[in-house]
Chains A and B, each alone.
Chain A
Amino acid sequence: MDERLERILPRVQKPGRYVGGEYNAVQKDKDKVDIRFAFCFPDTYEIGMSNLGMRILYGVMNEMDGVWCERVFQPWGDMEEEMRKAGIPLYGLESGDPIRDFDIIGFSVGYEMAFAGILNMLDLAGVPVRAEDRPDLSPLVIAGGTAMYNAEPLADFIDIVSLGEGEDVTVELIELYRRAKREGWTKHQLLVAAAQVPGLYVPSLYEVTYHDDGTVADIVPREGAPRKVTKRIVQDMDKSYFPVHTVVPSTEIVQDRTTLELFRGCIRGCRFCQAGYVYRPVRSRSKDLCAEYAKEALCDSGYEEMTLSSLSTSDYRPLVELCDDLEEFCEARHIHLSLPSLRADSFSMDLMQRLQKGRKSGLTFAPEAGTQRLRDAINKNVTEEDLLQSCRTAFAGGFNAVKLYFMLGLPTETDEDILGIAEIAAHVMHVWRESASNKNRGVRITVSTSWFVPKPFTAFQWEPQISLEEYQRRVKLLRQAITTKTVTYNWHDGDTSFLEAVLARGDRRLGKVLELAWRKGAKLDAWEEYFSLERWMEAFRECGLDPHFYANRTRSRDELMPWDMISCGVTDDYLWRERERAYASVTTPDCRTHCGGCGANRLVGGKCNV
């Protein structure tokens, strides 16, 4: 191990996350590979290692001959300081080599609050943050992930953006890069060629002009780049890679368990949910393959817990059969099966009760809104009676804690909807009194609210975020309305949600704000310890841009969105239709009941297999 590293590790928190060497970490002979890939996650090791997408692509790349993909995370502040002081540049966990010497540096970007971390990691690596200051072919800086459906705020820094599911396109990009390296292409040649690969978006090949009022006037592709870049998806989940042999961290991480991906996409169509739209259409993995992967992954990792994960797990058709398949296997090995994102219906409750065994952990539901009218408006098809019935079953079965998640500031929300949240909590309390099998232990009901952030590629992409003052007023209103003892109310502090709303629908002019905010110290913005809205507001002032223009403005139907060169398969017409139905409080049936014609079927050759 590097002696400089040995000196600083005793002084930092949780040094185990900076040394690599975990079980299943891939070691290769660096003299026998021609492509070194630094797979960066712009947050801590604990968060990044919990990301299934990262594990998939790590496996896919390392299965390629001659390619060595290593993991890189953002160090915590104490480690960063020590590294900068000791002159240790950011390194790959597998080899310990500085990533500035790698061929490709790729970022997995799941949320906007990670943007500043990308710049910080490049800088810590000793790589110029701006794309134009990196004239050479290597290191090539690329990015993918859910937050990259609008990569415009990062346009100045990222060479190539990969849209959608990365399994296939990452391989194609690496092959293209390999050819460029072999044939001695310039970086520009590579970028122009990459723009021809479906799913690859090269921001520098687009010229964006603005109207005087700050809205986008035109987006002009150059050098043959397409006007629309459509995301990539895996067509057949049964042929898609699943990381059976995956890195098992030696230190504790957030999701410290085997994650089994049952399907991608979601049939539901909640109107606020970006994931629900951009991952369309739904594609399932067959039950037998799921069971096989699960058993193999559990045997290999030795994990004692497995999550059956997807956007809405209850919608996996053979869910009960799969659980039947796995139950005995898991029981014999003391493995706990957990099912997150269950719907509040009796089918899901029965299943959960069966799997919970002795463990009576808390129940979590996300009704999102306080009245049926508003739930209809956001297309969250759950009724209060479903929810109360689920709670009834759970309390009767011995549960004594329920968490309820809501959003404040949804389009069309009125005070009545907010007071409805307090009423639901009171009704849950009432149900507990009626049905609890053991009242001695009491009950804990937690209501949590977040501040709604409108996202691109949703039915609410044209909507304003409510102002901070209004958000605070609504929090206060709810706080005063919750009078039931035993109901705890937690609300999300507004600062990060506001910035998220700004960045999510930002244009490329925000690049200079981002760079300035980072120079002023922004790095681990998802962490309260490090985030400062004031720092960002200063950066906005100094750049002469108004954050409220991005967060709090209503867009018209014909406004050109900054991300208009990107397509996730779902058409704008469909999203607008959904927005109109929201204002009429009309629900849209799920994809299984009735195809709403969103356009995503074109990604799978015409018809969705829901």
Chain B
Amino acid sequence: MSKLRLLFSKEAQASYISHLDLMRTFQRVFPRTGLKISHSNGFHPHAILSVVLPLPVGQSSVCELLDLTVDQESDGSGIVEKLNSGFPAGLRALDCYAPQRPVRELAFVQAELQFLYDAGVPAGCTAELEELFRRPSLIIQKKTKRRELADVDIRPLIRSLSFSEEEGKVLVQAVVAAQNPGLNPALLGNAVAKELPELAPDFVRVRRTALLDENGEIFR
């Protein structure tokens, strides 16, 4: 029996695969590789798999991690190639290895956002956005697990932000808290819409680019 960690990307069509469906997809891909994922005991044995930090539907990522246990002895070599022949479009395995670090050491998510403005980026937009996120506190409404709305201050969950402008869009480089609690980077767009309605983007694209530890080093 070995514990393994898989690094994979989830983009394009695959960004619309929900978390639950992603688990199902993995359960079906692994048998095709000849690897046996360990199953729980009981009447309805299920594969022991867990995505380290589930990605919201519609976002893309080049740094997803999946922890799994397989029945065989394996250091993960050869698995990437086998997986990639059986994935749906948009999922790609990048690396597979025996994990060295526990998930609790994952501290931050680095993400690249695009705020799209169909009528062109409003004048002075970047400066105003920078100003907004310099405030000591930024309260937005967020759905809780019980589907009620609750006020959350997202400011303490943001580690760094930078803005730059391109034709029709503002690019945002963000580093935000990953867990306990974490911040969905898409909510940065909600904060803008709430505080600066005239600068509300027409669409927000989010792409996860790295998972980081407490010191800003890559978590793998």
Binding site for B on A (CB under 8 A): 1, 6-7, 9-10, 14-16, 18-23, 25, 248, 250-252, 299-304, 333-334, 358-359
Contact = CB atoms under 8 A, between A and B. Distances in A.
A20 B13 contact: yes
Contact of B24 (A1, A14, A20, A252): A252
Interface in B61-112: 86-90
A299 B87 contact: no
Contact of B13 (A21, A248, A301, A303): A21
Among A1, A10, A250, the one with the most B-chain Cβ atoms within 10 Å of its Cβ is A250
A22 B27 contact: no
B174 to A, nearest CB: 19
A6 B207 CA distance: 14
Given A21-B12, A21-B13, A302-B30, A334 B39 contact: yes
A302 B32 contact: yes
B57 A302 contact: no
B93 to A, nearest CB: 14
B39 A21 contact: no
B58 A9 contact: yes
Given A1-B13, A9-B16, A250-B14, A303 B28 contact: yes
B86 A23 contact: yes
B12 A1 contact: yes
B31 A302 contact: yes
A248 B28 contact: yes
Interface string B176-210: 00000000000000000000000000010100000
B21 to A, nearest CB: 5
A329 B203 CA distance: 50
Given A9-B16, A23-B87, A250-B14, A16 B21 contact: yes
B32 A250 contact: no
Q: What 9 A-B pairs are tightest by C-beta distance, nearest first?
A: A302-B28, A21-B89, A21-B13, A19-B13, A16-B16, A302-B31, A15-B16, A358-B43, A250-B17
A594 to B, nearest CB: 44
B18 interface: yes
Given A1-B13, A7-B203, A23-B28, 8 more contacts: A18-B16, A19-B13, A25-B88, A25-B89, A251-B18, A302-B27, A302-B30, A359-B43
- Of the listed residues B22, B25, B31, the one surrounded by the most CB atoms of chain A closer than 10 A to its CB is B31
A302 B87 CA distance: 11
A498 to B, nearest CB: 37
Contacts of B57: 10, 15-16
B51 interface: no
B31 A251 contact: no
12 contacts: A9-B58, A15-B57, A19-B13, A20-B89, A25-B88, A251-B17, A252-B20, A299-B32, A302-B28, A303-B28, A358-B43, A359-B43
Nearest to A333: B31
A250 B20 CA distance: 10
A15 B58 contact: yes
A20 B88 CA distance: 9
Contacts of A7: 203
A21 B14 CA distance: 8
Of A251, A252, A299, most buried by chain B (CB within 10 Å of CB) is A251
Contacts of A23: 25, 28-29, 86-88
B28 A22 contact: no
A334 B45 contact: yes
Contacts of B32: 299-300, 302
B44 interface: yes
Nearest to A256: B24
A23 B57 CA distance: 19
Given A301-B28, A333-B31, A359 B44 contact: yes
A21 B45 contact: no
A359 B43 CA distance: 6
A19 B15 CA distance: 10
A16 B18 contact: yes
Contacts of A10: 57-58
Nearest to A298: B31
B29 A302 contact: yes
Contact of B25 (A1, A250, A334): A250
Contacts of A25: 88-89
Contacts of B17: 16, 250-251
Contacts of B12: 1, 21
Contacts of A250: 14, 17, 21-22, 25, 88
Nearest to B205: A6
B71 to A, nearest CB: 11
A476 B121 CA distance: 66
A312 B22 CA distance: 35
Contacts of A1: 12-13
Contact of B86 (A21, A252, A302, A304): A302
B137 to A, nearest CB: 28
A259 to B, nearest CB: 15
A9 B17 CA distance: 12
A599 B45 CA distance: 50
Contacts of B90: 21
A19 B13 CA distance: 6
Interface in B155-184: none
A15 B90 CA distance: 15
Interface string B51-63: 0000001100000
A252 B21 contact: yes
Nearest to A300: B32
Contacts of A6: 203, 205
Contacts of B203: 6-7
Nearest to B24: A252
A299 B16 contact: no
